[in-house]
Amino acid sequence: MTVPAPDALLAAAHVVSVPMRVRFRGVIHREALLLDGPAGWGEFSPFLEYGPDQASRWLAAAVEAAWEGWPAPVRHHVPVNATVPAVDADAVPGVLARFPGCTTAKVKVAEPGQALADDLARVAAVRDLLGRSGRVRVDANGGWSVEQAADALAALAVHDLEYAEQPCAGVEELRDLRLLLARRGVEVLVAADESIRKAEDPLRVRDLGAADVVVVKVAPLGGVRRALEVVDACGLPAVVSSALDTSVGTAAGVALAAALPALDHACGLGTVALLEGDVADPSLLPNEGALPVGMVAADRALLDRWAAPPDRAAWWQDRLLACHGRLTAGGPR
């Protein structure tokens, strides 16, 4: 990949701060730096805790989108799941209403400060609304120990889970959990998400037998082309997910899902519905449970409306330059 000069990146940059509808991963405003390049728009929005080495992969993905474009798709629409944050069970209908036509829902569980009873009530509410033909998956974001996960999934399995996403934090724990679930006769598939942040991670997940499914995101893997290579080398079924992106960043995830040779699961790419605003008009939102494939352009009026304060814009510009240095010094690590 040829990385544009720093001045070219800064000239193409727009920094926004978009409020969330509900707190998600502790985030109440989603900040992003958008790049307006010759091939289209790219999004650079690594979470604030990521250092330059990790965040530089997100910059590589944004540069790919804005300066190179994406591989040709093999499908023109991508099925997506609804995403249900760790809300009270009585709030579930309102959340699902923002995902019209979605027949798969991912439900957040293991939220700090909540109990398993809260998870059971939330998942039950989702199952009730989707009916028996819908698919329900849970996502613990690594919040359980192996024993906690085994106990929780045994209880949640009554709701016919499609799979459990990142029930434990480490790859070895995921492996141990799969073995424990098998010994206990609990038939719940395990998906690895947070364990996959670098190109070599899915291969380690595969080699240790730590998961049945891998959840991949474009930005942490360095772009659509690199993510395709990683999924191919891993050899496990893949689900494409987003990282609380705007419509610009979400379009990159759709491009990856559209280019995969096989796509057996709905993808976690409907998260623009969790934002109070967006940078595109219309937003990239599910229609009849699917998203269209194609580049998304930011709207200038919306860029102005959600423009980040000057101090935050400067912070993101400095971060961009730090990541640019990593890319030009040998690529993301």
Catalytic residue (one of 108, 198, 265, 324): 108
**Res. 332 pLDDT band, cuts 50 70 90:** low
213 HSE (CA, 13 A, CB side)? 24
Q: What is the pLDDT of residue 243?
A: 83
Question: Do the beta carbons of residue 202 and residue 216 sit within 8 Å?
Answer: yes
Residue 119 marked ligand-binding: no
Q: What is the pLDDT of residue 118?
A: 98
The predicted model scores a pTM of: 0.91
Q: What is the mean pLDDT of residues 233-245?
A: 92
Catalytic residue (one of 30, 217, 265, 326): 217
Q: What is the mean pLDDT of residues 314-324?
A: 98
Model confidence at 25: pLDDT above 80: no
Model pLDDT for residues 266-288, shown as the tens digit of each residue:
999 998 988 999 999 999 998 89
Lowest mean pLDDT among 48-57, 63-72, 115-124, 174-183: 48-57
Residue 36 marked ligand-binding: no
Class for the domain spanning 77-297: alpha beta
Annotated catalytic residue 217: yes
Q: What is the pLDDT of residue 200?
A: 75
Model confidence at 79: pLDDT above 70: yes
Residue 114 vs residues 85, 94, 147, 158: alpha-carbon distances, Å: 12, 20, 17, 20
**Among the listed residues 238, 247, 292, the one whose alpha carbon sits nearest the alpha carbon of residue 266:** 238
Alpha helices by DSSP H, listed for the chain, are 6-11, 52-63, 92-96, 116-130, 146-156, 171-184, 201-207, 218-221, 224-234, 247-259, 300-305, 310-328
Q: What is the pLDDT of residue 21?
A: 87
Annotated catalytic residue 108: yes
Report the CATH number of the 6-69+301-328 domain. Answer: 3.30.390.10
Residue 207 marked ligand-binding: no
Q: CA 320 to CA 33: how far, in whole Å?
A: 9
For the chain, the helix, strand and coil percentages under 3-state DSSP, each to the nearest 5: 40, 20, 40
User: Looking at residue 6, what DSSP letter applies?
Assistant: H
Domain-wise residue ranges, the chain: 6-69+301-328, 77-297
Helices 116-130/146-156 angle, 10° precision: 40
Q: What is the pLDDT of residue 232?
A: 92
DSSP string computed for 107-176 = EE---TT--HHHHHHHHHHHHHHH-TTSEEEEE-TT-S-HHHHHHHHHHHGGG-EEEEES-SSSHHHHHH
Q: What is the pLDDT of residue 199?
A: 63
Q: CA 228 to CA 207: how far, in whole Å?
A: 18
Model confidence at 333: pLDDT above 80: no
Q: What is the pLDDT of residue 203?
A: 86
Q: What is the mean pLDDT of residues 56-69?
A: 97
